[in-house]
Structure 1
């Protein structure tokens, strides 16, 4: 369907023509006619389907055709992130270029000047306010906004806002709005929380579901089955001799985003990072540089995966597997937009194989496995069931599983009831046994006193015995020591000679000389034995013995080397064919 076929005002059609909007998307074709009738709508549509124009165009058309207070806020659009609020505001400026309506984007993370601009826009009564929940509440608390003229309330990416914990903030804002209004909810998924909130804030809504959950076929999806330690090396090889152009790399952790950005910057690549640690001015600068092609690679968390409209994205890399299938669709949906082709690569570690299996089941096809280069070592096998069992055992060890057998939970309840009754009986038993326990404690005290007395007497006896032993030792030391010498009587001199060696004599004793001689003889015998052994070995070599065994060993080694060469050649051929398949659809040129 063409936009000219819709009942839109001429000024809106002029703006659409200036922005080169010709044909409607499925969500626009279904939602715009219903919203023009001012009915409440809950729509399930993925990002990149044109849902922003689906609610902005009928909003501007109704503001232009109906009476409204020009000095008050007439419409509020809620968005989960600053980036999405900015994008909606930019689309608003384009569509309303030929209309007299004004808008203001209200979000946090900026300086005082931006706060003043937002405050002036709210106090002066901007027609449309595009805001995040938290910043709008802060302005409400300061009485900077009047809700009495609000006729339209739109929630974009409602499921995302609930995931980020904005449910209470949204309900506080809804209570302040007039009851006579049109409420619109757009969501990529429809979990029970969204359905419950829709029942509370919508009145007889029209439901619109666009079944475009699967990514377009123009996206070439592929994967690497690798270990966590191999991911960074694969990245280096991907961009080693290639010049990237408009690449988005997603990671679920901001610390990992910082590490990846530093690694790629060391390779002299123009890299920007996007995560929650950046303030609003830094985020805007990074997005501006990326859109203007001054940055080739954008490393980001899932903050960019939803609602950010950037054209000509050639490659999306998932450094880790998203937890939800919807997040995977949102991530790779950044490429191949508006009918263009693109490519998506996912790094799958063993811990994420069960998540990747869910994605393949959802897509109903097997995603191509790119072979990991052999120089990076061995890769894990793709076996999601094994890793799922390992995770299941860990969960069972930490948490109590509910019984899956029939009547299992009833049995557990009976056991718990009996335990409670047993506790009551134990309380009565304790009261009965207090008296007996007191008497037993008195008897125990008397027994302990008797034992202490016996221990003291035993210690005294042992001390006396030790003192006696010490006295005996001292008496032995005081006795004169007799020299054990052989005495010879010389009748000529009438003196006794001892066989003890004179202290002035420096000549060694004969016994020690004998021992030294024996050691020298032993050393000489060992040396002679070794010499005779070497002579025997050399004689065998000269005689030609052992030649047959050596030649056989050499032949065996040569055979092994030949077989290894053949294997290496076959592996190289396989790698070449794999590289041809891979590099044939690589979108970048060489550096």
Structure 2
């Protein structure tokens, strides 16, 4: 097996520059996909030639569309066996990837994409697979369960995608990945996407890829729109310093990174006691609770999300105002990856990091990685007399979902029809199998709750509660 090669060829810039079917180009156009992102420019020509690819790319880079276009062009509509398998580290990422593939492939009729993730009943998944699936997207553990039960066959799969492979290794999925790959045919295209290139990724590539093309988009994230500040605080002073920063900067939305789930819980308690209403993501949560936390943060019912790197992986939050590193990462590349979640699409971002005296080596590593001196903030100039502002939205949970045929339009109609609340008072609506969440502006929350409690959705009464 030869070493990966780096691409240097001239790259196309628009999807129309590639030899894609007109129906796919029309669909891409309707989705607003005209110009390719750097990762798409470099990887798509290689993918379309059927080459194995190892690409360094993060969430939000456009990597999903790159590998999705590559795999859907190879699908045989008449064959309902699994032709493409996409492995992701978390259910959230798998759901996002499956949705993106469905959007991109809608120009074709009867292409079935099935999501297989843990934290959900296996029975309905088995039922879905009985009717066949062209593309399977899922987490390694649950994919392995289906292989063991013989409810999934990947013996004819021609494309394998390992998405966010570094995080799957971090989460201990290596044995499951190896086991799954042993069920795949030798002749296949293997695509490996990873935000970082630790040693384990190189080993994975050497073992399971054939003459892969290596693609790296320079700079994992442009930091020109991000204001970075580092503040000194010893461990006992960190909670107070965090609150000072929140009161001074007042970011509209922040992800606060901790290195362990225990620290996440502790910081959540400290902030709650200080009058904030954070949501916390950690590995001990049931999937339903995890979904609820993510929905509340994404729909602005909570402005603070506390998470570890693993728990936050796969989240693509729009317009994130600030990233706060309560704990510095041990890896400068991970630090840059965290910070790169703010200041996207030309918007201004803010990155605040706490450090202890003993973490000077981490600061040196970050400075070396960024090839720039770090800027240190002065705690004395922080204004602390502001009280926490409540989040602008409130989430209402409805005990009816996809399985009850509830759609976003049904909920919107129940809230706004016949002298209901104004449409501009309603925010994001998220529908899961057995529950739906709707965000409403805080000032309309009581009226909205009363309306849903007293009214009907799809002609039925559903229990409703305020989160």
Normalising by the smaller structure, the TM-score range is 0.7 to 0.9
Residue of 106, 126, 142 corresponding to 1:135: 142
Give 3-state SS (helix, strand or coil) of 1:189's partner: coil
Change in Cα spacing, 1:106 to 1:267, as seen in structure 2 (3 Å) is: same
What do the CA deviations read for 1:120-145 (whole angstroms, capped 9, x no partner)?
22232211111111111111111110
The structural deviation recorded for 1:153 is: 0.7
Which residue is equivalent to 2:170? 163
Change in Cα spacing, 1:372 to 1:39, as seen in structure 2 (3 Å) is: same
Which residue is equivalent to 1:172? 179
Alpha-carbon distance in structure 2 between the residues aligned to 1:97 and 1:293: 31
Residue of 347, 351, 355 corresponding to 1:348: 355
Which residue is equivalent to 2:84? 75
User: Which is helix-richer, 1 or 2?
Assistant: 1
Change in Cα spacing, 1:240 to 1:211, as seen in structure 2 (3 Å) is: closer
The structural deviation recorded for 1:313 is: 0.1
Which residue is equivalent to 2:70? 58
Which residue is equivalent to 2:407? none
What are the ranges of 5 or more consecutive residues in structure 1 without an aligned counterpart? 374-574
What are the ranges of 5 or more consecutive residues in structure 2 without an aligned counterpart? 1-12, 393-467
| In the alignment, structure 1 residue 91 sits paired with structure 2 residue 100 | yes
The structural deviation recorded for 1:270 is: 3.3
What do the CA deviations read for 1:98-132 (whole angstroms, capped 9, x no partner)?
3332212211123x3xx222222223221111111
Give 3-state SS (helix, strand or coil) of 1:290's partner: helix
Which residue is equivalent to 1:194? 201
| In the alignment, structure 1 residue 16 sits paired with structure 2 residue 25 | no
Which residue is equivalent to 2:18? 6
What do the CA deviations read for 1:294-322 (whole angstroms, capped 9, x no partner)?
11111111125433211100000000100
Which has the larger Rg? 1
Residue of 45, 60, 67 corresponding to 1:33: 45
Which residue is equivalent to 1:365? 372
The structural deviation recorded for 1:22 is: 2.4
Q: Give the conservation status (yes or no) of the 8 Å contact 2:333–2:369.
A: no
Change in Cα spacing, 1:99 to 1:363, as seen in structure 2 (3 Å) is: same
The structural deviation recorded for 1:359 is: 0.6
Give 3-state SS (helix, strand or coil) of 2:141's partner: helix
Q: Give the conservation status (yes or no) of the 8 Å contact 1:72–1:126.
A: yes
The structural deviation recorded for 1:89 is: 1.6
The structural deviation recorded for 1:267 is: 3.6
| In the alignment, structure 1 residue 278 sits paired with structure 2 residue 285 | yes
Q: Give the conservation status (yes or no) of the 8 Å contact 1:78–1:131.
A: yes
TM-score between the two structures when normalised by the length of structure 1:
0.60
Q: Give the conservation status (yes or no) of the 8 Å contact 2:233–2:241.
A: no
User: Which is strand-richer, 1 or 2?
Assistant: 2
Give 3-state SS (helix, strand or coil) of 1:211's partner: coil
The 4+ residue runs of structure 1 with deviation greater than 6 A are none
What do the CA deviations read for 1:430-451 (whole angstroms, capped 9, x no partner)?
xxxxxxxxxxxxxxxxxxxxxx
Give 3-state SS (helix, strand or coil) of 2:73's partner: helix
The structural deviation recorded for 1:243 is: 4.8
Q: When the two structures are aligned, how many residues end up with a matched partner? A: 374
Which residue is equivalent to 1:319? 326
Highest RCO, 1 vs 2 (Cα 8 Å, sep ≥ 6): 2
Q: Give the conservation status (yes or no) of the 8 Å contact 1:69–1:149.
A: no
Q: Give the conservation status (yes or no) of the 8 Å contact 2:91–2:118.
A: yes
Alpha-carbon distance in structure 1 between the residues aligned to 2:375 and 2:271: 25
Change in Cα spacing, 1:295 to 1:11, as seen in structure 2 (3 Å) is: farther
Which residue is equivalent to 2:118? 108
Residue of 227, 231, 236 corresponding to 1:224: 231
